[in-house]
A and B are shown apart, each in its own frame.
Chain A
Amino acid sequence: MAGGTREKLDNPVMEWVDSRLPIFTMMQKEYGVFPTPKNFNYFWNFGAIAMVMLVTMIITGITLAMHYVPHADMAFDSVERIMRDVNHGWLLRYLHANGASFFFIAVYIHMFRGMYYGSYKQPRELLWILGVVIFLLMMATAFMGYVLPWGQMSFWGATVITNLFSAIPLVGDSIVTLLWGGFSVDNPTLTRFFALHYLMPFVIFAVVFLHVWALHITGSNNPLGVDAKGKQDTLPFHPYYTMKDAFGILVFLIIYLGYAFFAPNDLGHPDNYIPANPLVTPSHIVPEWYFLPFYAILRAITFDVDLVLVAVGMVALGVAFIATPYKYLESILKMMEKSFLNFLGFSAKNIKTLKGVGLITLGLAILLNYFLNDFNFTIIPAKLGGVLAMFGSIAMLFALPFIDKHPVRSSRFRPYYKAAFLIFVANAFVLGICGGKPAEGFWVPLSQLTTAYYYAFFIVVLPILNKKEPVLELPSSINEAVLAKNKDKK
């Protein structure tokens, strides 16, 4: 964004502005001639689509705020007034309510693309992390926005989600009281949620700016995952991608507006058309669909983690350590070797046995103690465990660039990663379905199983693939791959 060399513009007014604030030069550089890999597929439209949705949400949101009344006694009525009396009010509200869903759809597809084509890898780690920050802010904003109509789901959703914080040891209850501004979800909660719901989109906008800035430093990834090496690999952003994005945005808008005009309440919940009633909980509380996978993870932890469980885990881990051949553990053990054990003269090979035996001994000792002295101690109660698991699932996304160090980016050249990742995606859909079902019967073990795979993908599968997945030969440049593909066609 620095001045640098600047070419004179023909239009005198633009030149006058540009010589003082080179905004036209910057636009030309960043959106006009900006070199963009020429082999994007339509997945690369979703960044622009998400941006359009953010702007849609801000504009419809501001106009709704002109009519909405943030008071527990009037919020529901004011929303009904918007629907019935305000000029085009129903349109604004349905665009906003369905817009939230379609903003999430766009962002989820955008994230899918990032993970599938390895866009989070070096040098785009920070770009990815800023994206996860945006995702988190979106979740907070969407949650608070859903509370504002003050229907039954608003009220009970707010109650359940704010109560998550009560799982924090010692200070949990005080934090919840602080969030509520009272002793239950009530008017003070509503007004502060409104204030924050109005603020957050602008914070999101600022982080989006950083996200785009970071993108324009590293340049875009592409479906091959190989870096653009020169002019033959890229195209100017305008008109090639401006026009392609415009087409993609229009197609997305058709689906979005199809919902907003013809099925505006299909993505919502009927209970939210019943005014909030602190005395009656709806029989089946579900969050909005975009939270369902995380909600399933929250509910999957139905057991306390106590010392017995830890001891059994230790024994199992110890056995696994001893049983696994050295070569599979090499990298982990090499890392440990660098720690203080090295001073004691242990080599990596020694540590393997030592670790295994040590873990088994410790585990057995705890178990023995338990049976002899009835010594039982809960380390993580189920409630806290669920909350930790849910927030942890997002923490995994933050850590992703540092977990997956495999040098190849695109799934096209990583068959094992591709399989594991597509299972991860299918797994996320199953989690979503579990989240929408009552927490009973067969759904509980299913959500536990899928939660386990969610974590295993990050903690087990990716590190193993790092080590084991062969590095295939990549095309030497985008252009070469394109030429080869076109030759095949002929």
Chain B
Amino acid sequence: MLRVILLIGALAVSPVAHAAGGGGEKLPNEHWSFEGPFGTYDRGALQRGYQIYSQVCSACHSMKYLSYRNLSALGYSPDEVKAIASQYTIIDGPDDEGEMFERPGKPSDRFKAPYANDNAAKYVNNGALPPDLSLITKARPNGANYVYGLLTGYEDHAPEGEELATGQYWNKYMDGHKIAMAPPLADEVVAYEDGSATTLDQYARDVTQFLTWAAEPEMEVRKRTGIKVLLFLSIFAFIMWRVKKKIWKNVKY
């Protein structure tokens, strides 16, 4: 009987699993350290990914749900976090005279956004709005592979018969293939300090790792807790099964 229930449960959810998808080529299926029930983030990749975000992506993309204090999860010490935050100039205020003023960033500040508002962002970017990246891997189906695919999926020319307008680029994995973002990464554009390869592939991997962490900072704790909870419940369920058997021992049903 239980098998029937499980089957029904599985059938019930199956339509959702393939409800998503659409446009573009099939996404690459890369191996990520954060996959699976025991998956964790790679701290080195996270720090390199943050380096790429801060040196490249942040020129156009905001990450408004993150604060500098969150960077301690990447393995930075409190003083390092303070130092990172203080590199940015934050507009605060109004002060006692009613004026806005500039001050160095503090760990409690949100990541500084590249543009004052969406309209300013669109104006600078030919009318296209660079999306906020805090949740990007959760906001796209198969998010991590999507980000990795998009960053590595640029082609030099559109295929025959396709026209690209000025400011458009051809990307294998973009919905509709035409993308307003110029290829942001290429070999050697960012200098790594830890000796990791400075290739497009490595950059894309690192920034994907970082963006996945940004969208799901709770993931490691969540999975760790989940293992404990399921272990506990499995033992408890086994005990209750024995209890039930014992109680029902003398009943014919």
Contacts and interface: CB of A to CB of B under 8 A. Distances in A.
Interface of A: 38-43, 77, 80, 83-84, 90-91, 94, 101, 105, 108-109, 112, 235, 239-240, 243-244, 246-247, 250-251, 253-255, 257-258, 260-262, 264-267, 269-271, 273-274, 283-284, 286, 289, 292, 429, 432-433, 435-437, 482-483, 486
B141 interface: yes
A227 B167 CA distance: 76
Nearest to A37: B253
A257 B229 contact: yes
A105 B223 contact: no
Interface stretch (B2-10, B46-54, B158-166, B198-206): B2-10
A270 B5 contact: no
Given A84-B217, A250-B237, A251-B237, A240 B230 contact: no
A250 B236 contact: yes
Interface string B57-99: 0000000010000100000000000000000000000000000
Nearest to B176: A283
A486 B252 CA distance: 8
16 contacts: A84-B70, A105-B12, A108-B12, A243-B244, A247-B241, A247-B243, A250-B233, A250-B240, A254-B230, A260-B226, A261-B226, A273-B139, A274-B131, A429-B15, A436-B16, A482-B252
B116 interface: no
A240 B251 contact: yes
B144 to A, nearest CB: 12
Given A105-B12, A289-B16, A486-B252, A257 B65 contact: no
B66 to A, nearest CB: 8
A448 B127 CA distance: 42
B253 A39 contact: yes
Interface stretch (B17-25, B149-157, B179-187): B17-25
B140 interface: yes
A38 B253 contact: yes
B37 A254 contact: no
B15 A436 contact: yes
Contacts of B16: 266-267, 289, 436
A105 B13 CA distance: 9
Contact of A42 (B1, B9, B218): B1
A262 B12 contact: no
Interface string B218-238: 100011011001100110110
Candidate in A41, A105, A258, A262 with the most chain B CB atoms within 10 angstroms: A262
A112 B20 contact: no
A265 B248 contact: no
A257 B233 contact: yes
Contact of A244 (B17, B22, B234, B244): B244
Contacts of B230: 254, 257-258, 261
Interface of B: 1-2, 5-6, 8-9, 11-13, 15-20, 22-23, 37, 65, 70, 131, 134-135, 138-141, 143, 175, 215, 217-218, 222-223, 225-226, 229-230, 233-234, 236-237, 240-241, 243-244, 247-248, 251-253
A94 B219 CA distance: 12
Nearest to B243: A243
A289 B15 contact: yes
A337 B64 CA distance: 74
B37 A262 contact: yes
Contacts of A83: 218
Nearest to A479: B252
B2 A246 contact: no
B94 to A, nearest CB: 21
B247 A84 contact: no
A50 to B, nearest CB: 13
Contact of A483 (B218, B237, B241, B252): B252
Contact of A289 (B13, B234, B240): B13
Nearest 5 CB-CB pairs, A to B?
Answer: A261-B226, A273-B139, A250-B237, A247-B240, A436-B19
Given A42-B2, A261-B225, A266 B218 contact: no
A235 B252 CA distance: 11
A239 B8 contact: no
Contacts of A247: 237, 240-241, 243-244
A254 B5 contact: no
A258 to B, nearest CB: 6
A186 B131 CA distance: 22
Nearest to A252: B5
B233 A429 contact: no
A270 B223 contact: no
B229 A240 contact: no
A237 to B, nearest CB: 12
Contact of A266 (B11, B17, B23, B237): B17
Contacts of B251: 38, 235, 240
Contact of B240 (A243, A262, A284): A243
Nearest to B138: A273
Contacts of A84: 65, 70, 217-218
Given A38-B253, A90-B218, A250-B240, A109 B5 contact: yes
A265 B137 CA distance: 11
B233 A254 contact: yes
A271 B18 CA distance: 15
B63 to A, nearest CB: 11
Contacts of B140: 270
Contacts of A235: 251
